[in-house]
Structure 1
Amino acid sequence: MKALILAAGYATRLYPLTRHTPKPLLPIQGNRTILDLMLDRLEALEEITEILIVTNDRFFQAFEQWLAKRSSRLPIRIINDGTSSVEGRLGAVGDIAFVIEREQLDDDLLVLAGDNVLGFSLAGYLRYFHTVEKDCILVRPVDSLEELRSVGVVELDGESRVISFEEKPREPKTNIGVFALYLYKRTTLPLFSRYLSEGGNPDAPSYFPEWLHSHKEIRAYFSEGSIYDVGTPEAYAEIRALLENEKQQDKDW
């Protein structure tokens, strides 16, 4: 299994913090970045053989410089998608398809948004994936209607199969929100190019599984902990304070 971290966004909502620094490289716990914490989670997974980080041409050098100072038990590669502006971006699904094609990927694939802070190990999620042997999405109950309207929302049957999936619904059918951690079987990877060729939205990463569930069975795994989205300056400050408090209490992040 390979891991693909999506880090090609421009994070305009966080300006001026991200005008010259990509969001995944913002310090979040002392001098450690959002990306450092994510790699800690990935490096603990025995199945992962390589970590790919896709970014844009504007921030490519910043990630290369970060990587030069980062030690890891796993090979890590930075991939430049060639875009240099918000207007020209490929979108998250577009970037996944770009990497699959460029690298000729033929492995199971864990896809993660590079701007999330995970408060739990991914080991249980991967065990579930191997048990059900289906493409998987990660979900959790969401109490806020505003938040539900900003994510994918699914209906599940008794076996956690996805029976309906709607990205950013105005009227959510359930309170089960989808978050940007996806596990895809190697046989599913060629479907990304088909999705895009049929006119699929290349932007948010959940648009692809929204389409995929009508073509293949998808299972949902309920998160074992919190997921923090560093989307605004206020959220960034709040998460930094939370992690500093956790560090002082010697808790594992």
Structure 2
Amino acid sequence: MKCLILAAGYATRLYPLTENFPKPLLKVGDKTILDWLVDDIDTARLADEFVVISNHKFARQFEAWAAAKQQKISVVDDGTSTNETRLGAVNDIRYAMEKLGIDEDVLVIAGDNVLDFSLTKFITYAQKKKASCVMRYYEPNDQKLLKCGIVTIDANDKVLNMTEKSVNPATHWCCPPFYYYTRNDAKLIQKGIDNGCGTDAPGSFFAWLSKQTDTYAMEMQGNRYDIGNLKSYEEVRGTYKGIEK
């Protein structure tokens, strides 16, 4: 399994902190955000390679970080240099897979979130299902629902429908940007793009895929901390205690 880490954004809401520095390399406690994610997944040796998908502006900084790590980490530069010219998350996934010739299961995660539970539980869940999977959590705030991927499931976690940033959310089940794609499903990403799936939000491909084949949504085993602006970053720095379970 390869782990693809989406890190090509420009984090404009965190300026000036991230004007010349990538958000995934910000420190939370004694580690960078990327360290928390990579070190957790590596504990179970479930990924044989980590791939950080960067923009051109920050690629060298990610390469310097990767060089100091013990894990096998590749950095893919998507060639963009501004927020206005970014490829979008789905196109970044396609670009990295084609560039590296990836032909196996892939875990796709956002590089700007920290969790207080181990992602290995999600990986194990998906491998037992032998299907592409996403995580879900209950979001009571109606306004926050408008900014999320929303999933409808049956009693066995099977995804019946998924939408991205719907104006009329069907449920309160939100999907954070963590996805497991089987080898065969990952090959469909170009077909999804050709058939009109969105390319900006990372969940757009999964939403399209869920209409083509059986997919599942595991309820999150803890909390996710999204670092979206300066205020949320300071809050996470003050409260995050690491992976607890």
What secondary structure sits across from 1:220 in the alignment? strand
Q: Structure 1 counterpart of 2:56, which letter?
A: D
Structure 1 Cα separation of the partners of residues 197 and 181 of structure 2: 18
State the SS of the aligned residue for 1:240: helix
| Secondary structure, counterpart of 1:87 in structure 2 | helix
Whether the aligned pair in 2 keeps the contact of 1:27 and 1:34 (CA below 8 Å) is: yes
Runs of 4+ in 1 over 3 A off after TM superposition: none
TM-score for the superposition, normalised by structure 1: 0.93
Structure 1 residues 102-113: aligned runs within 5 Å? 102-113=99-110
Q: Which residue is equivalent to 1:67?
A: 66
Tell me by how many angstroms 1:46 deviates.
2.3
How far the C-alpha of 1:252 sits from its partner, in A, is: 4.4
Return the offset for 1:151.
0.7
| 1:50 counterpart = 2:49 | yes
Aligned position for 1:20: 20
User: What residue is the counterpart of 1:37 in the other structure?
Assistant: 36
Structure 1 counterpart of 2:138, which letter?
P
Q: Distance in 2 between matches of 1:214 and 1:252?
A: 35
Residue deviations 1:116-173 (CA, integer Å, cap 9, x gap): 0011012221221121111000111111112211111111011111111111112211
Structure 1 residue corresponding to 2:97, chosen from 100, 107, 126: 100
SS in 2 for 1:194: helix
Runs of 5+ unmatched residues, structure 2: none
**Equivalent-residue separation in structure 2 for 1:128 and 1:37 (angstroms):** 20
2:87–2:200 CA contact under 8 A, matched in 1:
yes
CA contact (8 A) 1:142 1:176 kept: yes
In the other structure, the counterpart of 2:112 is 115
Question: Structure 1: which 5+ residue stretches go unaligned?
Answer: none
% identity of equivalent residues: 37
Aligned-partner SS, 2:93: helix
Answer yes or no: is the 8 Å Cα contact 2:135–2:219 preserved in 1.
yes
Distance 2:66 2:119 in 1: 22
Name the amino acid aligned to 2:235: E
Corresponding residue of 2:146? 149
Q: 2 CA distance for matches of 1:159 and 1:79?
A: 37
TM-score of the superposed pair, with normalisation by structure 2 = 0.96
Instruction: Note the C-alpha offset of 1:6.
Output: 0.3
1:176-215 equivalences under 5 Å are: 176-215=173-212
| C-alpha RMSD of matched pairs (Å) | 1.4
Structure 1 stretch displaced more, 106-115 or 40-49: 40-49
Aligned residue identity for 2:69:
S
1:237 aligns with 2:234: yes
Aligned partners of 2:43, 2:137: CA distance in 1, in Å? 22
Partner Cα separation in structure 1 for residue 166 and residue 181 of structure 2 = 24
